Chains A and B, each alone.
Chain A
Amino acid sequence: MRRLRSFLPLWFMLPASVIVTLFFVIPVFMTFAFSFTTMSSDTGVLGNRYIVSEATLLKLKELNIDPVLVASLGEIRFVFDDTNLKNISQLNLKPSLLKEINTKLKNKVFATEKKLYAALKTLKNRPRSFKDRKAISKATVSSMMNKEFLTADEFSQGLVSVGINLDAPAFNQLLELTNTSWHWTTDNYAELMASDFTLKILGNTLFYVFCTLFFNVGFALLLALATFYMPSGQSKIFRALWLIPRISPSVIYVLLWKWFTFDSGFMSHFLSSFGFTPQDWLKEFPWVFVILANGFVGASMGMLIFSSAIVAIPGDVLRAAEVDGAYPLQQIRRIILPLLAWPILFVTSYQTLSLLTSFEYILLLTDGGPGFFTTETWALNAYHTALSNYFGNLRYGFGATLAVVLVVVGIILSLLYLRLFDFKKLVTEPQIET
């Protein structure tokens, strides 16, 4: 085949390249970079923020910083600064009262709501209704807590605005303690090596991948072979039937599994007529259903590939096996399976990679449970750690570390499989005439 010399094909590839770069290449590099950081939802991703959080207050207390200061950092204030005055002007207050507030209370800070109300009472046009007083209180309430400040100046202004005035050394100390920016580290990897959960999750993942793969590929083969030997009408129906898991939305599919297994579901109902007590079968045997749900979905792809590979075997080869005395089981063992070696290898490798990285069915079915880490796999754990932590703090850095391990394993497996596929070239030597 003649190859083109121009760059034209590259232009055609441009949209694809952009997508691949945007959604695959850059994330991989970023994940790698993130894995060497302490990023979390505490630090943010952009870094260099100044935040006073509950954690900061605890730290300040530990360091024996002036308790009054610590207390005032944690408290709320009622502040009549420019921003808050603007907020008040938007309330539905009498103009005379507004005017008085603007002149008499400007830049005043009150430590408690009580003090605020007392001050309001001193006004000539004081607000009569409780509602108005409450509105003013709401419009002026301020706190240092959990506010993000981008620069030291902003932070200092923020302090002043809630009525905290510090000398330079005290301010600098506070500045350092509230700086939340992340930093570079290899601790994530050390933690991964040391953690007790690592082994548990690794074991889960291996168990999940091997069992699902075995079920998936075996079942696909069984289907492909069965439909091959069936009358063609029946086999068409059967094949179409097995595509349904592919086209049904995964959420619905998993819901059906849940309905099937829960304690008043179909399975309990059915088995109770054989004397089994109804129970939540998913809770009882979580792995069985995780593997079945994944396996059935995956089997349809393998079945399609195996079916077309079997059909591609020259009809005369199978007829020859027939007249040579081979019955279907012998044909399968001695002719079809050896000729399916490559499709089987292909499906196996493809499924290994996708099983390693995909976790949507486990997420929807058991979310890693029941109980602690029962069905938590590596990919699911990375997701939990970095993006959906029930306990609050999202650890981007450590999650990225988990993901990096997965990426590395995936790449190694891909290379290994590619080597195996190349092996095909070695097997088919050129034809020799003698």
Chain B
Amino acid sequence: MEIKLEKFSKSFGSVKVIEELDLTVGNGEMIALLGPSGCGKTTTLYAICGIHRVSAGRILFGDRDVTALPPQEKNVGVVFQSFALYPHLSIYENIAFPLRIRKEKNADIERKVREISATLYMEHLLERRPGQLSGGQQQRVALARALVRRPDILLMDEPLANLDASLRLEMRTEIRRIQQESGCTSILVTHDQVEAMSMCDRIALMNNGVIQQIGTPDDMYHQPRNKFIAGFIGNPPISFIDGAVENGQFTSQGMSFGLPDNLKKASLTSGQKVSVGIRPEHLQPGSENPVAGEVTFIESQGREILYDLKLGDGQMLRSIQSGARTCKLGDRVTWSINVNAVLFFDAQDERILPA
């Protein structure tokens, strides 16, 4: 079932949290709502499932307007950030809860609970109480409870936030598998971009209650629409250098290079202030488009090594290189920029697109 938010706004008292947000999630699609803490992800989710009343705008499930519908009348499964299991009920009863509310027959309930707990490898936990489960197990119970009544829509609010790294990896694939099998339209709230990129069809990147860009993970990475997106997506993050365009060249006090061909035709005037974004993998040892600086930080990340390069004017560039360490702290080095991959932003932080 398709989810459509039309000019959805939400304010708490005088505080406007979301303003005129438009978002469409296709039938069976899984979209990630990505953004920094406090940007309004949970608020959007709560509005979709009906917990929050909408201040303005419309919410549609398929063709049906569900803006004013209370949560009880929407068939939406929600996995809460805190899991929100019922502490006084056994795991079996936790999962059975939505079915009991619908007054389904005991035999049906039994069959459905067994089925979903088999899918999530948790049949041995059914007799326990939530307090007796580990974080990962609770997370699976929360997922089972959301899925057991075959929801039209599945909303997950940072479901993996409380898990350790290996469990997180395992659950990522598991959630994706179940979502694809059940085919229900899903929104996954997260502020972890790796999670968003690896699990979802598309990403909606939010900041300050506004969706900055919607696209595939690749889109977001290579074609960010503004500086915020470029800075948010990518780990280790992109580095920005402030400078100006002069005579077909980008110049700052610490470095300069010729503009790439496809950008020369863009409406860049001479003397215009711009900011360039250079991802760590685009600064490598070499001699083309050289940039010189001092190595001020080295961090080994296992397969790769992360360097910080301090330019003459004090601005910093980041570089990630595979292979053996080529320099040591304090060395002055000259590395090469892959100019064709450099991102240009104007004074309003908007991307300057190639012509």
Whether chains A and B associate is: yes
Q: Is A275 interfacial (CB-CB < 8 Å)?
A: no
Q: Are B82 and A335 in contact (CB under 8 A)?
A: no
A338 to chain B: closest residue by CB: B88
- Residues of chain B within 8 A (CB-CB) of A431 are 131-134
B14 CB, min distance to chain A CBs, angstroms: 16
Q: Is A191 interfacial (CB-CB < 8 Å)?
A: no
Chain A proximity mask over B97-141: 1 for CB below 8 Å, otherwise 0: 110111000000000000000000000100010011110010000
- Residues of chain B within 8 A (CB-CB) of A327 are 72
- Residues of chain A within 8 A (CB-CB) of B124 are 434
Q: Is A323 interfacial (CB-CB < 8 Å)?
A: yes
Q: Are B97 and A324 in contact (CB under 8 A)?
A: yes
Q: Are B102 and A319 in contact (CB under 8 A)?
A: no
Question: Are A335 and B84 CB-contacts (below 8 A) given A326-B72, A432-B132?
Answer: no
Q: Are B87 and A339 in contact (CB under 8 A)?
A: yes
CA A432 – CA B129 in complex, angstroms?
10
B59 CB, min distance to chain A CBs, angstroms: 14
Q: Is B61 interfacial (CB-CB < 8 Å)?
A: no
Q: Is A92 interfacial (CB-CB < 8 Å)?
A: no
- Residues of chain A within 8 A (CB-CB) of B80 are 316, 319-320
B121 CB, min distance to chain A CBs, angstroms: 11
Question: Are A434 and B86 CB-contacts (below 8 A) given A316-B81, A323-B49, A323-B71?
Answer: no
Question: Are A330 and B84 CB-contacts (below 8 A) given A322-B71, A431-B132?
Answer: no
CA A341 – CA B83 in complex, angstroms?
22
A341 CB, min distance to chain B CBs, angstroms: 8
B161 CB, min distance to chain A CBs, angstroms: 13
A319 to chain B: closest residue by CB: B51
- Residues of chain B within 8 A (CB-CB) of A320 are 78, 80, 84-86, 145
- Residues of chain B within 8 A (CB-CB) of A321 are 86, 97
Q: Is B77 interfacial (CB-CB < 8 Å)?
A: yes
- Residues of chain B within 8 A (CB-CB) of A433 are 134
A317 to chain B: closest residue by CB: B84
Q: Are A323 and B78 in contact (CB under 8 A)?
A: yes
Q: Are B132 and A317 in contact (CB under 8 A)?
A: no
Q: Are B51 and A322 in contact (CB under 8 A)?
A: yes
B104 CB, min distance to chain A CBs, angstroms: 11
Q: Are A325 and B84 in contact (CB under 8 A)?
A: no
Q: Is B277 interfacial (CB-CB < 8 Å)?
A: no
- Residues of chain A within 8 A (CB-CB) of B88 are 335, 338-339, 341
- Residues of chain A within 8 A (CB-CB) of B49 are 323
CA A317 – CA B70 in complex, angstroms?
17
Q: Is A422 interfacial (CB-CB < 8 Å)?
A: no
CA A316 – CA B51 in complex, angstroms?
10
Q: Is B276 interfacial (CB-CB < 8 Å)?
A: no
CA A334 – CA B100 in complex, angstroms?
10
* Residue from the set A322, A324, A327, A432 with the largest chain B CB neighbour count within 10 Å: A324
- The contact of A317 among B71, B76, B86, B134, by CB within 8 Å, is B86
Q: Is A314 interfacial (CB-CB < 8 Å)?
A: yes
B134 to chain A: closest residue by CB: A433
- Residues of chain A within 8 A (CB-CB) of B293 are none
CA A324 – CA B80 in complex, angstroms?
12
B82 to chain A: closest residue by CB: A316
B100 to chain A: closest residue by CB: A334
Q: Is B50 interfacial (CB-CB < 8 Å)?
A: yes
Q: Are B81 and A335 in contact (CB under 8 A)?
A: no
- The contact of B101 among A314, A317, A325, A428, by CB within 8 Å, is A325
Q: Is A62 interfacial (CB-CB < 8 Å)?
A: no
Q: Is A196 interfacial (CB-CB < 8 Å)?
A: no
Q: Is A429 interfacial (CB-CB < 8 Å)?
A: yes
Q: Are A323 and B77 in contact (CB under 8 A)?
A: yes
- Residues of chain B within 8 A (CB-CB) of A338 are 88-89
- The contact of B102 among A314, A325, A335, by CB within 8 Å, is A325
- Residues of chain A within 8 A (CB-CB) of B97 are 321, 324, 326, 334
- The contact of A314 among B71, B84, B145, by CB within 8 Å, is B84
- The contact of B84 among A319, A326, A341, by CB within 8 Å, is A319
CA A431 – CA B87 in complex, angstroms?
13
A335 CB, min distance to chain B CBs, angstroms: 6
B228 CB, min distance to chain A CBs, angstroms: 29
22 contacts between A and B (CB under 8 A): A314-B82, A316-B82, A317-B86, A319-B46, A319-B78, A319-B84, A320-B78, A320-B145, A323-B49, A323-B71, A323-B77, A324-B97, A325-B98, A326-B97, A326-B101, A327-B72, A334-B101, A338-B89, A429-B132, A431-B131, A432-B128, A433-B134
Residues of B bordering A, CB below 8 Å:
46, 49-51, 70-72, 74, 76-78, 80-89, 97-98, 100-102, 124, 128, 131-134, 137, 145, 149
Closest 9 CB pairs of A and B: A316-B84, A320-B84, A324-B98, A325-B101, A322-B71, A338-B88, A316-B80, A323-B71, A433-B134
